[in-house]
Every structure is written in C-alpha cells, then in structure tokens.
Amino acid sequence: MKYVEELNVGDCFEFEKNFYIKMVDFKQNGTRCCANLKTGCVRWINENSIVEINPIYTLDKDNNIIPMKVTNKENV
C-alpha cells in the first residue's frame, strides 16, 4: 500500500475496485491525473489516497509472462 503521491508516472494501482495508471498531470490542489484501464476515462485522485500497487503483465510469443513496467523490489 502506498500513497498516490509516492507512485511514479506509469505505475498501475487499484483504487476503489478499479485499476488506474498514474499519469504526468497534477493540479495545485494536490490531485493527480490517473487513467482508468477499463474505461479509458481520466480521474483526478487525491495525492493522499492510499492505493494498492498492481503491476500489468503481457505475454511474449512463447506465452511467457512479462511485466509491462519493470520495478525494483524495494519500490513495491
């Protein structure tokens, strides 16, 4: 569990039973722009919101599972 402000751009996370990717944009009031992976809609989420990090995976030509964004275990 992390605060939205602690995430890096491109990190995937779960918030209120939906999956989002943190984007670059932010507002002065502390909200961060996040894209819903299911609907594609943008949502402004408070930087102090606690979220669960969930990486995204893809399959290669041999059906091996590969993370879309490689992270250090220390950051997870």
User: Which overall architecture, per CATH, does domain 2-70 show?
Assistant: Roll (2.30)
pLDDT digit of tens for each residue in the chain (76 aa)?
A: 999 999 999 999 999 999 999 999 999 999 999 999 999 999 999 999 999 999 899 999 999 999 888 766 545 4
Look at residue 70 in the predicted model and tell me its pLDDT.
78
Look at residue 52 in the predicted model and tell me its pLDDT.
96
pTM to 2 decimals?
0.83
- Alpha-carbon gap, residue 47 to 63, rounded angstroms: 36
Residue 42 CB-half CA count within 13 A: 8
Question: Of 22, 19, 18, nearest to 3 (Cα)?
Answer: 22
Look at residue 59 in the predicted model and tell me its pLDDT.
93
- At a CB cut-off of 8 Å and minimum separation 6, what does 30 contact? 5, 46, 47, 48
